[in-house]
Amino acid sequence: MSVENIGGLYNTKQPGYDDTADIQAALKAFLYGSYDYDTTSTDPTQLQNPSLAHHLQGLKDRIAAQEALGIGSDYLTLSQISAITSPTDGYIAMASDSTGAAVQSTYGIALYQNEEPTENLINGMLWVDKDATPQRAYIYDEGTDSWSAITEIPGIVDAAGDLIIGAGQDDISVLPVGSNGQILTVSSGLPSWQDHETKTWIKKSSGSLSGSSLSVSGLDGERLFIVLHDWSHDDATDSAMLSVTFNNNAGPNYINTGGLITANALHSPTFNDSSTHDITISIDLANTSSILKPVSTIADNSAGQYFGYFRDSTPISSVQVTLSPTGAFDNGTYEVWSYE
């Protein structure tokens, strides 16, 4: 007697066509793959392959392996669940004696509205304040039951007036608020608070006018005023002017009103010798290295105000005021004021 293969997908055995008809032998061959298999054996390694029993054993082995993983679910009591030790990741246990509400899955959403949401709040929910200018976004924190603005930078600044500055590429820092009166400037490439440099008008010198000229040296500061008060002169031509030079420079470095370049000085209006006069000479020293330094004279006579420039890049260190073309001061006082 011989057995033959039957089936292509799950192959097993059947009696040969020449074998005698024996239903018990046929079932044995079909189930165990052989007429000679010991049906009392409990050793699965002795199963014939192919055979239906061999296929069933393979399915059993796979089920056992899956159960050995411990991943699945159980329908247990609360006490049984509490007694479980070292459960495998992914294990699910449902309490058969619990009375909780039905399980629902709720997901975070985003709301775009004017008023702060107060119902059906979910941890991580986003809310954009629709009518705010500019619009602002908030996130709901279930732990604190509050909305936090996500457009703010919490925990960085410590006090009112602190400034958030760029400390480098993709790096921010905080510049603490400065003291009263300080100004914001840049030091070593970064913003910083510096004490404000307080400047005021200081009287540098004063005295009586005499002779044909007045010379003032040691100039500094940003602006200089030379004030000649109640002065008169004894020029016989009755038309004396005040000539102003700087650094004793008498070259063609002066531009008078109207753009006239003179060879010697800046000139004021003419003054008669029959009355006293007041005149203020203003010198701009803010940019001492500039090639053009503005100068103006303000007189009390009809000539009014004259403008001019000293055309030289050398810083001004002294100024000379001389009666021109002739004459001398016969009275009056002077004051020199510096803004520094």
Portion of the chain with pLDDT greater than 90, in percent: 13
* Residue at 187: amino acid letter: S
For CA atoms 159, 160, 161, 167, give the dihedral sign.
Answer: positive
Mean residue pLDDT of the chain comes to: 83
Is pLDDT above 60 for 192? yes
pLDDT of residue 238: 63
pTM of the model as a whole: 0.44
Mean pLDDT check: name the lowest of 65-74, 85-94, 203-212, 310-319: 65-74
Q: Which residue did the predictor score with more confidence, 153 or 334? A: 334
* Residue at 67: amino acid letter: E
Q: How far is CA 206 from CA 45, 214, 248, 282, in A?
A: 125, 11, 21, 16
pLDDT of residue 172: 78
pLDDT of residue 113: 92
pLDDT of residue 117: 92
Question: How does pLDDT run across 298-339, given as a tens digit for each residue?
Answer: 877 545 677 788 888 888 888 899 888 888 888 899 999 888
- Give the model's confidence band at 100: pLDDT under 50 very low, under 70 low, under 90 confident, else very high: low
pLDDT of residue 288: 59
pLDDT of residue 114: 93
Closest C-alpha among 255, 257, 246 to residue 321: 246
Is pLDDT above 70 for 261? no
Does the domain spanning 201-339 belong to CATH 1.10.10? Answer: no
pLDDT of residue 145: 93
Query: Which residue has tokens 């100004």?
Result: 183
Return d(Cα 17, Cα 4) in angstroms, integer: 9
Closest C-alpha among 49, 50, 53 to residue 39: 53
pLDDT of residue 147: 92
Rounded to the nearest 5°, which phi and psi values hold at 31? -85, -45
Query: Which residue has tokens 């038309």?
Result: 239
Return d(Cα 293, Cα 253) in angstroms, integer: 11
pLDDT of residue 242: 85
Portion of the chain with pLDDT greater than 70, in percent: 88
Mean pLDDT confidence for 135-162:
82
* Residue at 308: amino acid letter: G
CB 295 within 8 Å of CB 257: no
pLDDT of residue 152: 59
Question: How does pLDDT run across 25-69, given as a tens digit for each residue?
Answer: 888 888 888 888 888 889 988 888 898 889 899 999 888 887 776
Is pLDDT above 80 for 82? yes
Question: How does pLDDT run across 209-252, given as a tens digit for each residue?
Answer: 999 899 988 877 678 888 989 888 886 666 788 888 888 888 88
Question: How many other CB atoms are there within 10 angstroms of residue 268's CB atom?
Answer: 26
Q: Which residue did the predictor score with more confidence, 121 or 257? A: 121
- Give the model's confidence band at 118: pLDDT under 50 very low, under 70 low, under 90 confident, else very high: very high
- Give the model's confidence band at 105: pLDDT under 50 very low, under 70 low, under 90 confident, else very high: low
Is pLDDT above 90 for 174? no
Residue ranges per structural domain of the chain = 1-97, 110-149, 201-339
pLDDT of residue 333: 93
